[in-house]
């Protein structure tokens, strides 16, 4: 299994990446599902990035070449969208633009399984999924029947490592305590709130945020994933402490992301 690096040093890297994101406001192209578009766009704005929900086949591949990163989420998949995703991922690769894959419920149907297989062939820089999705992606048996995670993150760590090695990519498994690995290094991120899974599109918005950090950390997508997950862990914990339920958590979480400062990633580091 991968080794755990110096977490204090990694928190400093996250701090610097967040400062760079705020400074550069990278353009992040999201080919994401209908449910998450508004939430993902608002979250990207809150952390300091610039969202672009450009998905049409006629323009998405061209648009990818001017972006800082591309995010592909298969939540509400269709054949036209899949064609656009494949072309856009290929275009991003040709231009040296990192792209992030969110394989939402990829194990639920044959159409989704085939879609993810084809997307994996295009070498995403980072894969972000829940424990059930990552276990299934590695070829294991998941307890999930759809988009919800029914497996613990700890059960998915070996699967994440196997995928990272096989695909030469970074895998981020998110849940109560997140796990991130590039096959050599690993880290766990604790924090957040039990209310996060009760607000739709929170995970999809996290994937978009991973893309924003990938735009300012092209040489180290592992560090990008850790920084993004750390922001969500800190903001989620802050919002959860004051929320009365899922509704008040949603707006408090957006405010908490907007209030984050670079130093928060060292002073409140959730790395474990």
Q: 114 Cβ partners below 8 Å, 6+ apart?
A: none
128 a known binding residue? yes
Q: At what angle do helices 202-215 and 7-24 cross, to 10 degrees?
A: 90
* Segment 91-97 long-range contacts (CB within 8 Å, at least 24 positions apart): 91/61, 91/62, 91/64, 91/65, 92/64, 92/65, 92/67, 93/122, 93/123, 94/65, 95/64, 95/65, 96/218, 97/64, 97/65, 97/67, 97/68, 97/69, 97/70
150 annotated among ligand-binding-site residues: no
Cβ pair 151, 113 in contact under 8 A:
no
Residues linked to residue 129 through DSSP beta bridges, in sequence order: 173
Name the DSSP class of 67.
Answer: S
> Is 207 annotated as belonging to a binding site?
no
Q: Is 201 annotated as a binding residue?
A: yes
Neighbours of 180 (CB within 10 A): 30
CA atoms in the 13 A half-sphere facing the CB of 230 = 33
Residues across the chain: 272
Alpha helices in the chain, H assignment, sequence order:
7-24, 37-47, 60-64, 79-95, 110-120, 131-137, 153-167, 202-215, 221-242, 246-259, 264-267
Write out the two tokens for 184. Answer: 């050599």
Instruction: Enter the tokens of residue 221.
Output: 């997508």
Please enumerate, by residue number, every residue annotated as part of a binding site.
53, 128, 174, 201
Please enumerate, by residue number, every residue annotated as part of a binding site for ATP.
128, 174
Please enumerate, by residue number, every residue annotated as part of a binding site for substrate.
53, 201
């Amino acid at each position: 299994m991968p080794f755990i690096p110096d977490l204090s040093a990694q928190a400093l890297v996250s701090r610097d990446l967040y400062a760079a994101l705020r400074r550069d406001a990278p353009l992040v192209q999201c080919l994401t599902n209908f449910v998450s578009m508004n939430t993902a766009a608002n979250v990207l704005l809150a952390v300091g990035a610039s969202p672009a929900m450009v998905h049409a086949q006629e323009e998405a591949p061209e648009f990818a070449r001017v972006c800082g990163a591309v995010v592909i989420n298969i939540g509400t998949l269709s054949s036209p969208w899949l064609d656009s995703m494949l072309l856009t991922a290929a275009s991003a690769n040709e231009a040296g633009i990192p792209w992030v894959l969110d394989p939402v419920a990829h194990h639920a149907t044959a159409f989704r399984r085939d879609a993810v297989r084809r997307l994996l062939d295009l070498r995403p820089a980072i894969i972000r999924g829940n424990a059930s999705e990552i276990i299934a992606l590695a070829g294991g048996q998941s307890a999930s029947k759809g988009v919800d995670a029914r497996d613990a993150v700890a059960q998915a760590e070996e699967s994440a490592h196997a995928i990272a090695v096989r695909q030469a990519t970074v895998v981020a498994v998110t849940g109560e305590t997140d796990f991130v690995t590039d096959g050599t290094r690993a880290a766990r991120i604790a924090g957040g709130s039990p209310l996060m899974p009760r607000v739709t599109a929170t995970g999809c918005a996290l994937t978009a945020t991973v893309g924003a950090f990938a735009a300012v950390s092209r040489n180290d997508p592992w560090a990008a994933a850790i920084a993004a997950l750390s922001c969500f862990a800190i903001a989620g914990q802050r919002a959860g402490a004051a929320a009365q339920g899922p509704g008040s958590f949603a707006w408090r979480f957006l405010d908490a992301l907007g209030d984050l400062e670079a130093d928060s990633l060292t002073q409140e580091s959730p790395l474990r």
